[in-house]
Amino acid sequence: MDTTDPDIVFDAGGVCHHCHAYDEAVRTRVVADPAQRDAIVAEIKRAGEGKPYDCIIGVSGGVDSTYVAYATRKLLGLRPLAVHLDNGWDSELAVKNIQHVLEKLDIELYTEVLDWDEFRDLQLAFLRASTPDSEIPSDHAIVSILYQQARRHGVRYILSGCNVRTESHLPPAWSRGHSDWRYIQALQKQFGTRKLKTFPHRNMVDLVWDARTTHWVDILNYLDFRKVDALRVLQDELGWQYYGGKHYESIYTRFYQGYILPKKFGFDKRKMHLSSLICSGEMTRDEALAELQKPTYPEDMQAADREYVAKKLGITDAELETIMRAPPKRFENYPSYENSRVVKLARKVRALLPFR
């Protein structure tokens, strides 16, 4: 990690605050005791008795979510319902991987297909807002659908592929507001052309209700999860095929993370992913620096993706170039729950209280 994170802080030894946060997260969130893992699995099974599923999992076709599917079924003996968001950007390989893996694991799949015209307009609104977080619409919809399916089937547990070892070091300046429906609505109102009538979402009331009724478990923190081992298991046992990069199962994500973010904002998400692998001992710093000398992904594929993305979004290359050249903005530049006066006042009051 470096100063492309504008908020980064280094200590006297040159170690950044992300690495210190990683050490604290491993200490507090990674569960090494098998007895604790067995206890949470037993509770999930108990809560799911008499129901067709005992947990909900999200599947994108990527490494982490696919390994969750494998682990829940093969290692933990759970009965998950797999949920997938079809936002119009799945690669053919992603679709193939999802179908093949879930059939082999005997896991039922529910797919939510977004209204393309509505979602396309929302994606364009985020691009025109010029903030470095145009993946938020997909991320927000995915989580919303997971909770919706949990409520629909009376399931109390959602098991995610989020994990400390391979997904730390995320600077808030690079992406913020994933659960903030007010922020999403504000950008759509200012830069979009359509009303969001069908888009899956969670408002403040939903956030509070879901926190009280549904348990979110980052199950990979309960397992000895190592990326290289997971890749081998998925390929050898399930016939899963690799995409060449983290989250590249989505064409839009590949283009956004590999082209728009580094070229417009100077943000290379490989730095955070590689930093996580360094801290977890799966890669050396020299190996990571050598990896960063390579293009984010092949330049001929970047050119092809640029043409494809512009065409699918219904804009010209000149319009895309205008988006690329627009001055960058930040999350704080727009309305949100987090930036509201009420929340800011609540924070000030809380800071003055003797107990927190």
Any idea where the domains of the chain sit in the sequence?
A: 17-333
Which residue positions in the chain have pLDDT lower than 50?
Answer: 355-356
Which residues fall within 8 angstroms of residue 31, CB to CB, at 6 or more apart?
Answer: 37, 221, 222
CA distance 131 to 334: 10
3-state secondary structure at position 113: strand
Backbone angles phi, psi at 252, to 5 degrees: -65, -45
Angle formed at CA 35 by CA 30 and CA 40, multiple of 5 degrees: 75
At 20-65, the pLDDT tens digits run 999 999 999 999 899 999 999 999 999 999 999 999 999 999 999 9
Name the nearest CA neighbour of 188 among 114, 137, 257, 112.
137
Task: Identify the pLDDT of residue 250.
Answer: 87
Cβ–Cβ < 8 Å for 78, 42: no
The DSSP output letter for 174 is T
Task: Identify the pLDDT of residue 247.
Answer: 60
Task: Identify the pLDDT of residue 356.
Answer: 39
At 59-115, the pLDDT tens digits run 999 999 999 999 999 999 999 999 999 999 998 989 999 999 999 999 999 999 999
224: left (phi over 0), alpha (psi -120 to 50) or beta: beta
Distance between alpha carbon 272 and the CA centroid of its chain, in Å?
A: 13
Task: Identify the pLDDT of residue 243.
Answer: 76
Backbone angles phi, psi at 112, to 5 degrees: -100, 120
- CATH dotted code for 17-333: 3.40.50.620
